[in-house]
Chain A
Amino acid sequence: TQLLEQSPQFLSIQEGENLTVYCNSSSVFSSLQWYRQEPGEGPVLLVTVVTGGEVKKLKRLTFQFGDARKDSSLHITAAQPGDTGLYLCAGDQGAQKLVFGQGTRLTINP
């Protein structure tokens, strides 16, 4: 059983469409991070959210941390082929390690 459940596991959409991926848990996290991983590379940090209800924007990407700090979402507007990759959420419970979700594998078709 994964501490962090990501959905959907796979998503394939056309360029220009909008999408949302989710990261859910029954546990409370002191912070939550989103990473993107491309084939043959390690995950790269996109954003960290700390406060319940917090919203952060990174160009066309909008990240939200749930009010109870148990869940998060990533919304991409007008997706582009360069957005293709594995999106991972990771939670910090203050136990000196990050716990990762299984990831959402996103494919944007031209």
Chain B
Amino acid sequence: DSGVTQTPKHLITATGQRVTLRCSPRSGDLSVYWYQQSLDQGLQFLIQYYNGEERAKGNILERFSAQQFPDLHSELNLSSLELGDSALYFCASSVGWTALSYGYTFGSGTRLTVV
């Protein structure tokens, strides 16, 4: 157990639908990062939050949004889902707001399948 909790572990939904992925960071970590992992693209950075505020944005689609709540858990919302959104979605957390020295602690991921 890495200390980062992601739910659900698996999700199957239809095209056009909307889903919410949830992440609880490791105790004491203030930063949450969301990554998408697919076979052809590898791990792609989506977005980072630090202590409730958005800190960095990657190649996140406009159909996707995220937020971090006062208790530091984070949610990633994916809407108008397409077949190509099928992937593993990882949440990671870290103590500070940069990755230097400490690295990330990853959760086990949510496998999203869009049918």
Contacts and interface: CB of A to CB of B under 8 A. Distances in A.
Interface of A: 2, 30-31, 33, 35, 40-45, 48, 50, 88, 90, 92, 94-103
B42 A101 contact: yes
A48 B43 contact: no
Interface in B50-64: 55-56, 58
Interface residues of B, number: 27
A91 B103 CA distance: 10
Interface string B71-115: 000000000000000000010100001111111111111000000
Contact of B42 (A44, A97, A103): A103
Given A41-B108, A42-B108, A94-B98, 14 more contacts: A33-B99, A35-B103, A40-B109, A42-B90, A42-B107, A43-B106, A48-B103, A92-B98, A97-B33, A97-B45, A97-B48, A98-B45, A98-B104, A100-B44
Contacts of B97: 96
B108 A92 contact: no
B4 interface: yes
A46 to B, nearest CB: 9
Interface in B5-44: 33, 35, 42-44
Nearest to A95: B56
Given A42-B2, A100-B43, A31 B106 contact: no
A89 to B, nearest CB: 11
